[in-house]
Structure 1
Amino acid sequence: MKTAVIQTLHPDPSKTNKKIALVKYEQIKTALLSILANGQLTHTDLMEALYQNVKDTFEGGVQWYGETVKLDLEARKMIERTSDKPQQYRLVQKTT
């Protein structure tokens, strides 16, 4: 049986991102969005929170998958970087 994959996007259109297993993508995406639902975080804090969140259930490199999915979520305008120093990540506010 073939594993479903997703072609992830990159916020820089000149770069191509990775194809990863859809189930891993969904697990990391869900974790990242739920972490950021509690407020914005620096990159270091976000990756640490992600690791703590999935380390017991995730097969593979949490940091690598976290970075790949984070870039994809940025490209899809679901999360964004702030202009703060240090830069932080936050959920994009949906306008209705």
Structure 2
Amino acid sequence: MEEQKIQLKHPQGKKAVSINKDKYELLTTETVQYLTENKDGTFSEISQRIAQSLKDKKIIFDGSLNWYLEWVKLDLEARQIITRVPKTSPQKYTLTKSR
């Protein structure tokens, strides 16, 4: 059976990639869950937590987790599900208030 792909969006309207729908849904769920439990988080914090979560659930992630997560993060920003916290270094992300 052919794997389903999802076309991602870029917050600045740039050309984005298509990725496996299952990977997209997994990383979206994990990212939103992290930001629900924690007020905000850096890319590294979110990435480390997801890597540990996948390990705990014995889910083998095929490919570069950080590469996929970066694209999912950009897509979630473009869809206004997450937002950048202004004036934070390193950059932090939080769930958009209007959700």
Q: Same fold (TM over 0.5)?
A: yes
- Deviation of 1:35 after TM superposition, in Å, equals 0.5
2:86 paired residue among 83, 88, 92: 83
User: In the alignment, is residue 94 of structure 1 matched against residue 93 of structure 2?
Assistant: no
Per the normalisation by structure 1, the TM-score is 0.88
Match of 2:51, SS state, is helix
Secondary structure of the structure 2 residue equivalent to 1:37? helix
Distance (whole Å) between structure 1 residues aligned to residue 28 and residue 88 of structure 2: 25
State the TM-score, normalizing by the size of structure 2: 0.86
Unpaired runs of 5+ residues, structure 2, are none
CA contact (8 A) 1:9 1:76 kept: yes
Paired position in structure 1 for 2:31? 32
Percent identity between the two aligned chains: 35
Instruction: Give matches, 1:1-96, under 5 Å.
Output: 1-13=1-13, 15-38=14-37, 39-55=39-55, 56-57=58-59, 58-86=61-89, 87-94=91-98
Aligned-pair Cα RMSD in Å: 1.4
Q: Which ranges of 4 or more aligned residues in structure 1 deviate by more than 6 Å? A: none
